[in-house]
Structure 1
């Protein structure tokens, strides 16, 4: 091993983190791509679909920073993760049970919202736990994060071809069971004690994380993330509906095609991060995202599902290059006592602010373009493409990056 190569993390630690990511990814993989069709089979139209997809983003506005602060300052992160995961699993099962009993849709939404509020910090927390224990984050984090991708893919295949859960409430039950197992497994992860010791109300509410926005590149990154997340919010909400409209009978399985490119991107992340600046990677990811939605628009114009599937195939590559790069970027440049809160702020901006706006706007645009026949799916996706394209000049002009010293290798640029 060379002097510059960091020691490898123990396989038991990598395996444990990978397993938790696998179950964490499998849980929403069961119900998220199928949710639109599940609600449709219960007689709930596009309004209720929008409400259901809005629940998660609103939840991400509430809990990630607070729970992240608790993990940074009060309790061991792996224990907090396990507790909130098991609690959210019970709430999720209760939500789908209410839907199965044909209770008021508001009962389903209330329980679904509660499950989402409790579960919202889970992705950012396990990412933060991983960064603490992995000796080489850039090389090893994409490997453990790959577990989440494979879990999502496995759920999609099981839903469509094994359990035949398309449009079935049982997909929700499978998601709840899977989440509970993954959360319980987190008790076996290495201890991750709090690094901070603040007890102020501001800290406990997670408001310290907003201090990160005082730094120019942080502000640009979080702003672009919020804007990019607006069109991203409708990917799982309306793409399966577009697939169904084009005659696809297994939309959940088809949506997993996007995870194939995500696997490739995860495996290449260590090479990408060592050879290219963060700014370059982020801009490439945004440009590729615009191309992806452009392919969706062409599918809407031609009625050819091949273009839509081609765009879906790019999803994992776009997501990984932007958001995994962003997580590594934050880990490099944020004080250790703020790591979990920084990842929580990313969740708030991505799954919260951007997704709330995106879901509301997407519902309005869908009704206008698709339901009311004003350009159909083509207009719908071209507008979303334009929103993504706006991110490119913002990154180009306003993101600076850290200037490396002359003696530093290129791999250390833009830390």
Structure 2
């Protein structure tokens, strides 16, 4: 006998969450793929590119757990989200104004860092808000999260073909305006009051989230996430540069190919999460991640951009099957009073620790392999593929999973 389908969330809830995700994804979609070329157009070399890409990961080490704890224990999450979105939007506009009008890379980095620290919790917070109000997370979260993917794609197309912001600080202004609009829309999301009531300093600093690591599968998941994020950190930093080296004139638009596969993966998530174990889905994602960089390496050895585009097309599958599955995994396994902090810990592991290591290592490897021509792009991407592949045996050996009730779906 088939199980009854869960009742659907109200259309207004789905539409509101989708809209905020759209603007949230659109904001970095303007400047992230173009950032390397924007800095290069200002005469700033690979060192400054690395510094700029390092800012976000460093920010993710600071604020997600603290802001997550505030939302879990003190103030409604949608209001916290709106405030940090507006403030970070203003700081982002100031950062790109400093780069364009003053030509000051140091001031740009300072303001960019401030904007990133304020904005770092936004993705994890919005995911947590969505989990609270969606009646069927496995079926509906991928749908509303798809808004972020489409927003990112729209920004890439606008950057390359409408605004022609490939090397212009105008991409930063567009991102700031978009982020502010998304934050304003968040005020109309359903009220999400705090579920906890702790006032201890340890709780307010978000340190309680680290208790999750005492559970074996949590420890394995967060460890693999950190390791996977090391090669993932250079995807947007160096892939556009490789595209240009192979003759592309529209790298931002080309990078959106990855979001096309992300759309496909999002639409399949409801089927995947109810028919397969979480471990199986995560391992497929890890395998595809290694394959993606292997294809990049072939592009480096052949000089054929088709291999690079093929790898880019896998990016959305890799990201969705691992990180969206991970968010749903945490929502199933974590106490509601820790929900936002758990998502913040995921941000810290992926966008923070893993990305910091990945960007620093990526800069060193890029300078050695590409700039100094010790193997070129071929060697560079093979190393990143090997790092991705290392995640597979760790997940296969140490992750156990637990059985859940049949009506709740697959094992986690």
Report if TM-score (shorter chain) is over 0.5. yes
Q: How does 1:67-146 map to 2 (within 5 A)?
A: 67-146=67-146
- Deviations along 1:134-183, one digit per CA (max 9) or x if unpaired, are 00000000000000000000000000001111101100000000000000
1:209 and 2:206 correspond:
no
Q: What is aligned with 1:310?
A: 310
> Per-residue deviation at 1:6?
1.3
Match of 2:224 in 1: 224
Shift of 1:329: 0.1
SS of 1:33's partner is: coil
Distance 2:410 2:85 in 1: 37
Q: Distance in 2 between matches of 1:50 and 1:164?
A: 24
Q: How many angstroms apart in 2 are the aligned matches of 1:26 and 1:357?
A: 26
| Secondary structure, aligned partner of 2:43 | coil
- 1:7-406 correspondence runs (5 A): 7-404=7-404
Contact map agreement 2:262 2:317 (CA 8 A) in 1: yes
Cα shift readout 1:371-413 (whole Å, capped 9, x = no counterpart):
00000000000000000000000000000000357xx36x733
How many Å apart are 1:3 and its aligned residue? 6.3
> 2:30, 2:172 within 8 Å by CA — same for their partners in 1?
yes
CA–CA distance in structure 2, aligned partners of residues 53 and 210 of structure 1: 26
Distance in 2, matches of 1:29 and 1:231, equals 20
* 1:25/1:147 contact within 8 Å kept: yes
RMSD over aligned Cα, in angstroms?
1.0
SS in structure 1 at match of 2:50: helix
Aligned partners of 2:309, 2:6: CA distance in 1, in Å? 40
CA contact (8 A) 2:99 2:108 kept: yes
How many residue pairs match? The answer is 411
Deviation readout 1:106-140 (Å, 9 max, x if unpaired): 10000000000000000000000000000000000
The TM-score with structure 2 as length reference comes to: 0.99
Q: Separation in 2 of the partners of 1:8 and 1:166?
A: 41
**CA distance in 2: counterparts of 1:164 and 1:323, whole angstroms:** 31
Query: Which of 396, 408, 412 is the aligned partner of 2:409?
Result: 412
Shift of residue 322, structure 1, vs aligned partner: 0.2
Distance in 2 between residues matched to 1:76 and 1:258, nearest whole Å: 34
How far did residue 105 of structure 1 move?
Answer: 1.0
Stretches (4+) displaced over 4 A: none
3-state secondary structure, aligned to 1:373 = coil
Check the 8 A contact 2:273/2:410 in 1, yes or no.
no
Inter-partner Cα distance in structure 2 for 1:403 and 1:183: 38
Q: Distance in 2 between matches of 1:294 and 1:11?
A: 42
Shift of 1:104: 2.5
Q: Secondary structure at the match of 1:101?
A: helix
Preserved CA contact (<8 Å) 2:56 2:352: yes
CA distances 1:60-97 after superposition (whole Å, capped 9, x unpaired): 00000000000000000000000000000000000000
CA distance in 1, matches of 2:388, 2:193: 39
Whether the aligned pair in 1 keeps the contact of 2:287 and 2:392 (CA below 8 Å) is: yes
Distance, in Å, in 1 between the alignment partners of 2:273 and 2:369 is 40
- Give the whole-Å Cα distance in 2 for the aligned partners of 1:397 and 1:310: 30
- CA shift for structure 1 position 353: 0.2
Q: Is the Cα–Cα contact under 8 Å of residues 402 and 413 in structure 1 kept in the other structure? A: no
1-structure distance, mates of 2:308, 2:133? 39
- CA distance in structure 2 between the aligned counterparts of 1:158 and 1:37, rounded to whole angstroms: 16
1:414 deviates by 1.9
